[in-house]
Amino acid sequence: MGRLTQHVKMTKYRFSAAGPGNDAGRVSVVLREDALAAEEPLEIRLGQKAFSVTMRTPGDDFDLVAGFLVSEGVIWQPEQLVSLRFCAGEDENGRQTFNVVEAQLRPDVALPDTGLERHVYTSSSCGICGTASIDAVRKSSHYLLADSADPESSRIPAELLASLPDRLREQQKLFERTGGVHAAGLFSAAGELLCLREDVGRHNAVDKVVGWALREGRLPLAGTVLQVSGRASFELVQKAALAGIEILAAVSAPSSLAVELAAESGLTLVGFSRGSSLNVYTHPDRVLERPAGIPSSPLPSK
């Protein structure tokens, strides 16, 4: 796992149930090591100018930077990103940290609007907390979700959609070791896992998926489903829409603003997707009640 995890010493307390002659129960104390998901700062530079700093789990950093630039509305085509490279950076022991990435953009790409007054620091828990206002991040997407070339390819049976969280969980190797990271998985409408990324920040995990797609020349991501391990926030809806993703599904709840933006953007937003049920909050036409060729069951009589 390398820099993905860090080992720390900890004291584990285990309690046994109270029983006859042992009203207070028993407590066992064990000293041991635990694997934690690594969290380090990543400075993103455009040319030689600092643009943002985000807290992330090291790994797939080029995907993270590329996806972040897509999410910020700076780029939307792979040709607009000329190069990515790690800049020199050392820790207190003189070791290379790989915590600074410089992106070179094509000369005709407009640099981000400084009027957004974005703070340089972005935490791993929230990707837009440093933005001056919510209105400032309602960016216009270059991909119109309602204009999918093949609407049928964007439809997915509800039962298959509900199975994606389990499929995602089966592939979460870092979560298996640490229990402390979010995951984002990009699936085809047939349920094939195309890309999975994990990170302490859920917005980082999504950016890593979007960045992978940009660098692979796959944008816009029509006909795909983005399954995330946590809740569906405004920022995740925005990132999905800007990448041309038509269905965003989360295992937990969406926020009210996420639902509002999804409705405006033409994105199908799914929440509480947990194997046996799911809630579709916007644009339910992309979710099929049954796979093609299987008749629907009649609604129960009242």
Active site residues: 126
Task: Tell me the two tokens of residue 74.
Answer: 């700076």
3-class DSSP state of 85: strand
State in Å, rounded, how far the first CA of the chain is from the last one: 55
Neighbours of 231 (CB within 10 A): 17
| Two structure tokens written together for 249 | 């599904």
Burial label for 255, CB within 10 Å (0-12, 13-18, 19+), is middle
* Beta-ladder partners of 269: 248
Q: Give a three-class secondary structure readout of 244-292.
A: CCCEEEECCCECHHHHHHHHHHCCEEEECCCCCCCEECCCHHHEECCCC
